[in-house]
Amino acid sequence: MSKPAKPKVAICYDFDGTLAAGNMQEYDYLPQLKIKPKQFWDEAKERARTQQGDEILAYMCLMLEKAKADPTKGIQVTKKAFADNVANVKLFKGVESWFERINSFGHNAGAVIEHYIISSGNREMIMGISIARYFRKVYASSYMYDQHGVAIWPSLALNYTTKTQFLFRINKGYLDEWDNSKINTYKAKEERPVPFEQIVYIGDGTTDIPCMRLVKDQGGYAIAVFQPGKSKAKEGAANLFADNRVNFVAPADYREGKVLDKQIKSIIKKIVADNEVQQLIKRSEKNYTVKITLPEATPVSINEILPDNVVKLDEDVLDKRVEGT
């Protein structure tokens, strides 16, 4: 008998505030434009309000407008330029070593670990960060480019609700963003490569709530993290727990032995144990299910079971009536 496949565990991360402090645009991009972060985000919100639009699309549009408004500043909006604008992004402690450590732990525990980003931030910027190589897929807001490689229009915008579709893509194994046919086809739960019970979502804020709640309600695990030393962020994460939107709360400290490290490792061990239990149940069902063969039923005339004082039916007439019903 071949050994059963190891269970896949998909760990999904928001980016801003989850793996790194602050918003990625605030490290290099906005300083080049000489725009203060609050001014930029307030303007994006106002643009969304006045245009009756989405805040994510508003900020993406504004990024392009601001860069092109003053050519003398030399702000480029190419993939390479976006990737170069994250050189100073400050990852939380332990993030750099987290992925190899968790992958190794999962392998030794009997699981296959996959990492995914599901973020409203900019995909091109995330792909320029050192840890990008560890993600099987980066789902984040991104641009379309012209023949010169210059960003001209949003190609994908992830807000708090659209984020959830990518959990289903991971769950069903249809990972391409553009594929709208396979993702909507029926796929039995037992055929899905990553059941929701084997998905972990780690996030920090309100844009993560639909993903957190979906994963948790489907039997997976949601973790709210907060920047260490930030009391307001800690309070926000505590509120997510109080509102039953997450299973765990932890400081965004990814070092070995810290709270988050222990939570993830415990989740992985539980998923592996649950999978082993299910395999044992299936083996018992296969080896010990008793097949019961029932004797063939003998046809009985309705007149045979009617009491003697009841007028007997003309069965030929009854059959014809039934056929004509």
Q: Is residue 79 part of a domain?
A: yes
The stretches of the chain forming alpha helices (DSSP H) are 29-33, 37-50, 55-69, 79-84, 95-109, 123-126, 164-172, 209-217, 231-242, 259-288, 302-305, 315-323
Determine the pLDDT at residue 313: 53
Range among 71-75, 158-162, 261-265 rated most confident:
261-265
Cα separation, 143 vs 132, in Å, equals 18
Q: Is residue 301 part of a domain?
A: no
- Name the pTM for this structure: 0.86
- Summarize pLDDT for 175-190 with one digit per residue, the tens: 999 998 899 899 999 8
Q: Is residue 304 part of a domain?
A: no
Query: Which backbone phi and psi does 145 adopt, to 5 degrees?
Result: -130, 145
pLDDT of 322 over the 60 cut = no
Q: Is residue 303 part of a domain?
A: no
Burial code (b: 16+ CB inside 10 Å, e: under 16) for 28-39 equals bbbeebebeeee
In terms of Cα–Cα distance, which of 211, 235, 7, 282 is closest to 223? 211
Determine the pLDDT at residue 319: 55
**Under DSSP, is residue 14 helix (H, G, I), strand (E, B) or coil?**
coil
Determine the pLDDT at residue 308: 63
- Summarize pLDDT for 222-244 with one digit per residue, the tens: 999 999 999 999 999 999 999 99
Q: Is residue 189 part of a domain?
A: yes
Tell me the residue range of the domain where 200 lies.
8-283
Please state the rounded mean pLDDT for residues 206-224: 96
Q: What is the DSSP letter of 21?
A: S
What confidence tier does 103 reach under pLDDT thresholds 50, 70, 90? very high
**Domain harbouring 83, CATH code:** 3.40.50.1000
- Summarize pLDDT for 2-26 with one digit per residue, the tens: 667 899 999 999 999 999 998 999 9
Q: Is residue 241 part of a domain?
A: yes
- Summarize pLDDT for 251-283 with one digit per residue, the tens: 999 999 999 999 999 999 999 999 999 889 888
Task: Provide the domain count of the chain.
Answer: 1
Q: Is residue 311 part of a domain?
A: no
Q: Is residue 80 part of a domain?
A: yes
Cα separation, 30 vs 41, in Å, equals 11
Asked if residue 238 lies in contact with residue 76, where contact means CB atoms within 8 angstroms, the answer is no
pLDDT of 325 over the 80 cut = no
Determine the pLDDT at residue 75: 81
